[in-house]
Amino acid sequence: MYFFNRCKHHINTILNSCKCFSRSIVLLSSIINFYPCELSEENIPLLCRIVCVVDAYDAMTSDRVYSDAVSSEQALIELIEHAGTQFDPHIVDIFLQVLNDARVLLP
């Protein structure tokens, strides 16, 4: 809980210093606040559900200070395994379709 509160404090500080980005502030505030409010499923704003999937994929497939990147295939397996619990299953399905379409279109 300490870590969550510290993260929330830092994010709120950043948001307060960036008031000119009002849409971003609304989005980030929604992402931060749906966990403590215990929102679930369709009650979580759509944009937050999309960002959750995309951010998780990016985090898994990018090198971080605390962990090495995993392959795209491994990240997709994780998204599929957690669809319906951590991630909106409809958003995961659409994300998979978009990635598949992008691979077909790219040379």
Residues 19 and 46 in one domain: no
What pLDDT shows up at residue 16? Answer: 58
Domain that holds residue 14: 1-38
What pLDDT shows up at residue 3? Answer: 59
CA distance 39 to 16: 24
What pLDDT shows up at residue 70? Answer: 94
Q: Would you give the distance in Å from CA 27 to the centre of its chain?
A: 11
The total of structural domains in the chain comes to: 2
Residues 61 and 88 in one domain: yes
Residues 58 and 76 in one domain: yes
Residues 55 and 5 in one domain: no
What pLDDT shows up at residue 17? Answer: 54
Residues 51 and 29 in one domain: no
For the whole prediction, is pTM greater than 0.85?
A: no
- Closest by CA position to 95, among listed 56, 62, 45: 56
Residues 29 and 55 in one domain: no
Per-10-residue mean pLDDT of the chain, 107 residues long, equals 60 56 54 56 79 88 90 94 92 90 65
What pLDDT shows up at residue 103? Answer: 72
What pLDDT shows up at residue 41? Answer: 73
